[in-house]
Amino acid sequence: MRDLRGQGHFGLIFFIFFVALIVFISLQQFPSYTYFIFFIVGCIVFFLSFLNPNLILILVILSALLSPEFQVGGIAGRSVVIRLEDIFLFFIFLGWLAKLSVNKELGLVRFTPLNRAIAVYLFLCIVSTAIGLISQTVTLKQSFFYLLKYFEYFMIFFLVVNNLRTMRQAKLCVFFMIITCIIVCLYALLSLPSGGRLSAPFEGVGGEPNTFAGYLVLMMALMIGLMLYNKQMWLRVPLGILLFCSMGIFIFTFSRGGWLAFFPMVGAFIFFDRRHRNFLIFSCLAVAFLFPFISPQRMQERIQERIKDAFSNDQAYEMFGKELTVSGSTAARIESWGMGFALWLKRPLVGYGIPSAGVIDNQYIRVLTETGILGFLAFLHLLRSLFRVGLRSWRESAENGFSQGVCLGFLAALVGLVTHALSVSTFIVIRIMEPFWFWTAIVVLLPTLVAQEKKEEAGYEETSDLRTG
C-alpha cells in the first residue's frame, strides 16, 4: 500500500498557506512595519514549535486569554478580528508539519474517540455553508472567517493530542492553565474599582462579561476537581484561595447566564463524585448560609438588581397559561430564538449555512438555524462523545488523583458549558473554546499517560530489585 502521509502533509501545508494569503489580504490596513514584526515573531514561534513542543503548548495556553486582537472588517453586525494567537497558531502548525516531515513516524493525526464526531460535525458545517453560498444566504467572506475559527479549535485539539507524550507534560499544561487564570483574575481585580462588570483582557470597549463568566465556570471546575483529589495540602491551599477569588470575580461579572451555569456545574460534582458527595453538599449549604453575612452589601444589592432586571415589565409573554414579564434584553433574546426557530422550519434539513444566524445568544438555536437538523444531531453527538470520553477517562484513572481531578472537573465544566450555551453561543466563543479543547485533549490522553506512568514505575522498581539482588 502506498504511504500517503507525505501527500497529507503537502495538502495541509497548501491549505495553511491559502488561509495565510486570505489573512494577509485582510491585514492590508496595517502599517508596513507591522508585517515585519509579525514575520519575526512568526519565525521565532516556528522554530520553537519545531524544537520544543512544551514551549509551544505553554504559548497556546497563555495566548488563548492574553492575546490582543485587530479588527479587519465587519460582517452581519459583528466585527471580524484577527488575534495575535491566530498568527502564532499559523506558524505553530507550520513548525508541526516541518517536524512531521522529519519524523514521519509521528503521524499527521493521532486517533482518538472524538475524531469521527469532530469530522462529521465539521463536514456538515461545510456542506450547509456550501449550500448557503449557492443559495446566497451567506457570503464567502462571512463563512470563511467563521469556519476558520471552527477549524482552529479542533486543530488545537489535535496539536495537543499529537504533542502530549508524558504525564509530566500534562501536569505542566494544567499548571499553566491555572497560571493564565491567575493573570486574568488579577487583571479583573485591577478593573474592579471602575464599578463596571468585570471582563477578561483584550475584549474591546465594554468587554465581554458573559464570555468571561463562561471561562471562569470552566476554570473553577478544574480547581474544584484538583482540590478534591489532591492529597498535598501545599497545593490545596493556594487552589482554595484562587477558587475563592475566582468566585468573587465571577459574581462581579454580573452575568446571569454564567450564574445559571454555575449551579449545574457544582451539581455535576455532587452527582458523579460519591466519595466527596457529603462534603460537597455541606460546603454548598455552608456557603449559602454564610454568603449574606460575609459578602459586601453593595454586591448583594447588585445581584438582586440583576435578577429583578431579568423580570422587569418591559415585555410580557404568556407561558403555560400565565403572563411572564421580562426585561428588554431578555425579550430581545427570546425573540431572536423565535426568529431562528422560525427560519429553521423553512429549511429544516441543512439550514442556511455559517454564520447566517447573525446575533443569536443560544448555541442550540444557532446550530439548528445554520446547519439544520443534520448539523444539530451531529453537534449533540459531539457533546455526547465528549461526555463519554470524560467519563471513561475518569473511571480508568481511579488510582491517580491528578487524573481523576482533571477528568471529573472536565465533566462538571462540560455540564456548566452546556447550560451556559442556553444564553450564549458558548461553543463558538474563542476565549472559552480554546482552553476547553486544550483541556479535552489532555482528558483524552490521560488514561494512556497513567498506564504509561505505571509501566515506567514498575520498570524502575524491577531494575532496583535487580540491583539490590
Per residue in 183-203, pLDDT (tens digit) is 999 999 888 887 778 888 877
Q: Give the pLDDT confidence score for residue 399 in this predicted structure.
A: 81
The three-class DSSP label of residue 200 is: coil
Q: How confident is the model at residue 375 (pLDDT cuts 50, 70, 90)?
A: very high
CA distance 242 to 248: 10
* pTM, to two decimals: 0.85
Mean pLDDT of all residues in 408-417: 97
Q: Give the pLDDT confidence score for residue 468 in this predicted structure.
A: 53
pLDDT beyond 70 at 34: no
Average per-residue pLDDT for the chain: 81
Task: State percent of the chain over pLDDT 70.
Answer: 74
Three cell numbers written together for 223? 480547581
CB 427 within 8 A of CB 363: yes
pLDDT beyond 50 at 210: yes
Mean pLDDT of all residues in 160-181: 92
Mean pLDDT of all residues in 67-89: 64
Q: Exposure pattern of 389-426 as b/e (b: 16+ CB <10 Å)?
A: bbeebbebbeebebbbbbbbbbbbbbbbbbbbbbbbbb
Mean pLDDT of all residues in 147-173: 89
Q: What is the pLDDT of residues 69-79, one digit of tens each?
A: 666 555 555 55
Three cell numbers written together for 344? 429553521
